[in-house]
Structure 1
Amino acid sequence: MMHTSAPAYGLWPLVLINSAFFIFFAFSFTQPKTARDWRSLGAFSAFVLALFTEMYGFPLTIYLLMPWLTRHYPGVDWLSHDAGHLLETLLGWRIDPHFGPFHLASNALILLGFWLLASAWSVLFRAQRAGQLATEGPYARIRHPQYVAFVLVMFGFLLQWPTLATLVMFPILVFIYARLARREEQTIRAQFGAEYERYARQTPAFVPRFWSKKESHHEHVA
């Protein structure tokens, strides 16, 4: 498998533009107000910045793995952009990685994540204004759709452009989001009491149960 395109790094304006785009997009749908909201967005922003730094700025993962890569994959131009799509390259697929299954799955997960983020925010906004819980939309299936949305987007980016930094960050950020969700539930439980307890018993926190129907609908703030 050959990659002979020109080096595609040192493009720091692209790092800034892409990072700013995705961070602003996430900000526009989360509208952080509390310290917990800012921590959630900050964790996602750090992941995005690390990703695009290696995608367009400095390919740290490629440099660290270069001795092993050049020994096992001779003839590959590891400083080309296409080679940075490591999953397709390491599998030896002779296709444009932008149309490969990993990249297509990545696009689907990223779009799904941002759609979920937008859908959850609109429901949450209405619920907050009414001072109610919300089980409409995504909240009818899971209690923390916004955190799930961030995880979907990050996993999508991992499929598209895995790096050592983001591979280390991903499980840490998933753990952080799980902790933020639990702390958020303590606040909401104190506010809504038995109403939230009923909702929590019927609605999974992160993974939806598509095979069962909810017995009733409430409104949730989370």
Structure 2
Amino acid sequence: MNAGESAYGLWILVILNSAVFIFFAFSFIKPRSQTDWRSLGAFSAFMVALFVEMYGFPLTIYFLAGWLASRYPDLDPFSHDSGHLLHTLLGLGGDPHLNPLHIASNIIIVLGFFMLASAWRVLHQAQRKGELATTGWYARCRHPQYLAFILIMFGFLLQWPTLLTVIMFPILVVVYVRLARREEREALKTFGDECRAYMARTPGFLPQFVHGGVTHSRRE
């Protein structure tokens, strides 16, 4: 877009982008339980808030417009490129879509969706069999499905941070941690010692990629 062309008020793009990413998440996890719907709902709220500011109403840009104008007098704060705030604040030149930060964010988002699809497939298979999910990503960490949501949201924060999503992100992380702990309490009631052994050897959210027979302490 040209510097003087408004990149906002594009509500069709808000609806389309929100719908696409929410549909991707929905198709991957295929929510069945109340917990599934809560995790998807929290993620959906983040996506809507993100795309409203990205294409609809730039609340963060309006809030920071005066400061941005004083610090960057040649900047058009309401161009799409200026909405990539980290690109602007770090003084990165060129197309913000091609800088290392944006490329890294895309990689993180793709990894998050890949993990989401893989993890939920394993989880649903285990649930159908009445077993504890311990294979695939679940062999590396206990809550890859929630880690995937966190990665996707973090990736979007890197390329388009807003005041609302920056506030929402740590809150949603806490929500996912609480959901994970609730699921663990239910799993302990169902699987007992098998679940305790799994929790003792498998990290909560930070995946382990080297096994080698090492026993890991219970950690998040």
**Residue 73 of structure 1 corresponds to which residue in structure 2?**
72
CA RMSD of aligned residues (A): 1.4
**Residue 15 of structure 1 corresponds to which residue in structure 2?**
14
**Residue 219 of structure 1 corresponds to which residue in structure 2?**
none
Deviation at 1:93, TM superposition (A): 1.8
Deviation at 1:121, TM superposition (A): 1.4
Provide, for residues 95-121 of structure 1, a one-character-per-residue CA deviation record: whole Å limited to 9, x for no partner.
100001111011011000000001101
Written as runs of structure 1 = structure 2, the 5 A alignment for 1:138-217 is 138-213=137-212
Instruction: Read off the aligned partner of 1:43 and give its amino acid letter.
Output: A
In structure 2, what is the Cα distance between the partners aligned to 1:211 and 1:201? Answer: 15
In structure 2, what is the Cα distance between the partners aligned to 1:128 and 1:54? Answer: 38
Instruction: Read off the aligned partner of 1:27 and give its amino acid letter.
Output: F
Q: Measured at CA, do residues 184 and 134 of structure 1 come closer, stay the same or move farther in structure 2, by a change above 3 Å?
A: same
Deviation at 1:160, TM superposition (A): 0.6
Count of aligned residue pairs for this structure pair: 214
In structure 1, what is the Cα distance between the partners aligned to 2:130 and 2:57? Answer: 47
Q: Determine if contact 1:143/1:200 at 8 Å carries over to the other structure.
A: yes
In structure 2, what is the Cα distance between the partners aligned to 1:182 and 1:103? Answer: 33
Q: Determine if contact 2:29/2:121 at 8 Å carries over to the other structure.
A: no
Instruction: Read off the aligned partner of 2:65 and give its amino acid letter.
Output: M
Q: Determine if contact 1:202/1:214 at 8 Å carries over to the other structure.
A: no
Instruction: Read off the aligned partner of 2:168 and give its amino acid letter.
Output: M
Provide, for residues 55-105 of structure 1, a one-character-per-residue CA deviation record: whole Å limited to 9, x for no partner.
000000000011100000011111110110111112222210000111101
Q: Determine if contact 1:203/1:214 at 8 Å carries over to the other structure.
A: no
Determine if the alignment matches structure 1 residue 98 to structure 2 residue 106: no
**Percent sequence identity over aligned pairs:** 62
Secondary structure, in 3 states, of the residue corresponding to 1:33? Answer: coil
In structure 2, what is the Cα distance between the partners aligned to 1:120 and 1:173? Answer: 19
In structure 2, what is the Cα distance between the partners aligned to 1:33 and 1:129? Answer: 12
Deviation at 1:214, TM superposition (A): 5.0
**Residue 59 of structure 1 corresponds to which residue in structure 2?**
58
Secondary structure, in 3 states, of the residue corresponding to 1:28? Answer: helix
**Residue 218 of structure 2 corresponds to which residue in structure 1?**
none
Deviation at 1:210, TM superposition (A): 2.7
Higher relative contact order (CA 8 A, sep 6+): 1
Deviation at 1:130, TM superposition (A): 1.5
In structure 1, what is the Cα distance between the partners aligned to 2:199 and 2:139? Answer: 11
**Residue 30 of structure 1 corresponds to which residue in structure 2?**
29
Unaligned runs of 5+ in 2: 216-220
Provide, for residues 120-145 of structure 1, a one-character-per-residue CA deviation record: whole Å limited to 9, x for no partner.
01211221222111221100100000
Provide, for residues 183-203 of structure 1, a one-character-per-residue CA deviation record: whole Å limited to 9, x for no partner.
011111111111111111010
In structure 2, what is the Cα distance between the partners aligned to 1:23 and 1:123? Answer: 21
Secondary structure, in 3 states, of the residue corresponding to 2:61? Answer: helix
Q: Provide runs of 4+ in structure 1 moved above 4 Å.
A: none
**Residue 109 of structure 1 corresponds to which residue in structure 2?**
108
Q: Determine if contact 1:5/1:81 at 8 Å carries over to the other structure.
A: no
Instruction: Read off the aligned partner of 1:169 and give its amino acid letter.
Output: M
